[in-house]
DNA sequence: TGATATTAAATAGCACGCTATATAAACTGC
DNA sequence: GCAGTTTATATAGCGTGCTATTTAATATCA
């Protein structure tokens, strides 16, 4: 290990440190955010991915699984069981589309629509936990979106 | 829904949009990063969390489970099965500490130590996928670390 | 029109990260 | 010295996100 630091490979070490730390920062911050969301969303009985689905449907009700997936960058392997649990919890309904029977349409139940009201405080709680200003968050968001696009183009 | 946008609650809507998008940016970027790592680490047969453990051990061999956990913000519920799989793969060894038998010490196997060599190219591949400059990454990392600290203090 | 290719969702299997709990060892205070 | 408390790790159970594969429906092409 010490021989590594003094080897001709040393120029790579800073890159190794920096890179590892950046990715780790992303990973660990994401986990930390998840922890906050679990606490804040517990009263609603929602997990964060479920909350995302609800937001997509509140924005526009009745979407196919793949439409939801496109908005959230998730595929049906993740969404199908997730949506099934939400249906079991009485938040949504899943029905085969008559126009194209390969599609399953997801619609909000009355309880799911009503939940938007009690979910109104969620963003404030989260914003509070970030300890950031709206401007700071906006800038960070933009940077993350650039990074995400680059990463998605790399695979 | 339309009644919502024109309601007195409208001041909250921008916050709801911004907040949701920031957290979602973090979440989706983290997923995208994970996908890149899966591809880059596949030749080594490592998952990203396993790679993190290896980096911690390459930095300093022989650590207890909780030491590793402190470095990675992970607890034993996650680490124990993960380390068991790594032991089964011949990368590490796990032994009860004689000094304190509650502790399990994790040490690199010869193969685990040797793997550091072939892992040397990983950071370069990742850096390439981010499409960012080292300076840009450094700034983003710092911002994420501030956010992470704030989030961790909020729960 | 029928065969083939493509698509949407579901399922199988795995790894991970979390909360809750259990077990054994170490620590503390009387 | 002993009972009670705390600590380190392991286990149980759940939800999620991934790759790979399957099933049924739709689209395409000759």
DSSP string, chain B: -HHHHTSTTTTHHHHHHHHHHHHHHHHHHHHHHHHHHHHHHGGGT--HHHHHHHHHHHHSS-EEHHHHHHHHT--HHHHHHHHHHHHHTTSEEEEE-SS-TT-EEEEE-HHHHHHHHHGGGHHHHHHHHHT--HHHHHHHHHHHHHHHHHHHHT-
B122 contacts B40 by C-beta, under 8 angstroms: yes
**Per-residue pLDDT at A19 exceeds 60:** no
Higher pLDDT, residue A81 or A133: A81
Best of A10, A69, A123, A134 to substitute, by most chain B Cβ atoms within 10 angstroms, is A123
At residue B6 the predicted structure's pLDDT band, cuts being 50, 70 and 90, is very low
Average pLDDT, chain A: 87
**Per-residue pLDDT at A14 exceeds 80:** no
Are B22 and A140 inside 8 Å of each other by CB? Answer: yes
Tell me the residue range of the domain where A121 lies: 14-153
Instruction: Calculate the angstrom distance between C1' of C13 and CA of B80.
Output: 20
Query: Which structure tokens are listed for A29?
Result: 């911050």
Residue B2: what pLDDT?
Answer: 31
Instruction: Calculate the angstrom distance between C1' of D24 and CA of B23.
Output: 37
Is A5 a member of any domain?
no
Of B33, B36, B134, the CB nearest to A18: B134
Q: How many domains does chain B have?
A: 1
> A127 and chain B: CB distance < 8 Å anywhere?
yes
Average pLDDT, integer, range B10-36: 75
Residue A8: what pLDDT?
Answer: 34
Cβ within 7 A of any strand C atom: A 27, 31, 34-35, 38, 64-66, 69, 76-77, 79-81, 83-84, 94, 100, 102-104; B 47-50, 73-75, 77-78, 81-82, 85, 100-102
* Chain D footprint positions (protein CB, under 7 Å): 7-13, 15-20, 24-27
* Chain C footprint positions (protein CB, under 7 Å): 7-13, 15-20, 24-27
> B44 and chain A: CB distance < 8 Å anywhere?
no
Is A2 a member of any domain?
no
Are A129 and B145 inside 8 Å of each other by CB? Answer: no
Is A7 a member of any domain?
no
Is B2 a member of any domain?
no
Is B7 a member of any domain?
no
Residue A155: what pLDDT?
Answer: 83
Where b means 16+ CB within 10 Å and e means fewer, A104-114 reads bbbebeeebbe
Instruction: Give the CATH number, domain containing residue B62.
Output: 1.10.10.10
Is B105 a member of any domain?
yes
Average pLDDT, integer, range A75-95: 97
Is B3 a member of any domain?
no
Average pLDDT, integer, range A115-129: 90
Is A82 a member of any domain?
yes
B60 contacts B131 by C-beta, under 8 angstroms: no
Higher pLDDT, residue B128 or B112: B112
> A75 and chain B: CB distance < 8 Å anywhere?
no
């Amino acid at each position: 290990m010490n021989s590594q630091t003094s080897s001709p490979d040393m120029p790579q070490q800073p890159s190794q440190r920096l890179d590892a730390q950046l990715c780790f920062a992303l990973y660990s911050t994401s986990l930390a955010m998840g922890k906050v969301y679990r606490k804040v969303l517990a009263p609603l009985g929602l997990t964060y991915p479920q909350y995302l689905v609800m937001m997509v449907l509140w924005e526009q009700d009745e979407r196919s699984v793949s439409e939801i997936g496109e908005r959230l960058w998730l595929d049906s392997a993740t969404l199908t069981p997730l949506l099934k649990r939400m249906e079991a919890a009485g938040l949504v309904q899943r029905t085969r589309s008559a126009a194209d029977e390969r599609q399953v349409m997801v619609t909000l139940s009355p309880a799911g629509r009503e939940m938007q009201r009690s979910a109104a405080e969620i963003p404030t709680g989260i914003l509070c936990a970030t300890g950031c200003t709206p401007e700071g968050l906006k800038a960070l968001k933009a940077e993350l979106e650039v990074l995400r696009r680059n990463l998605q183009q790399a695979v």
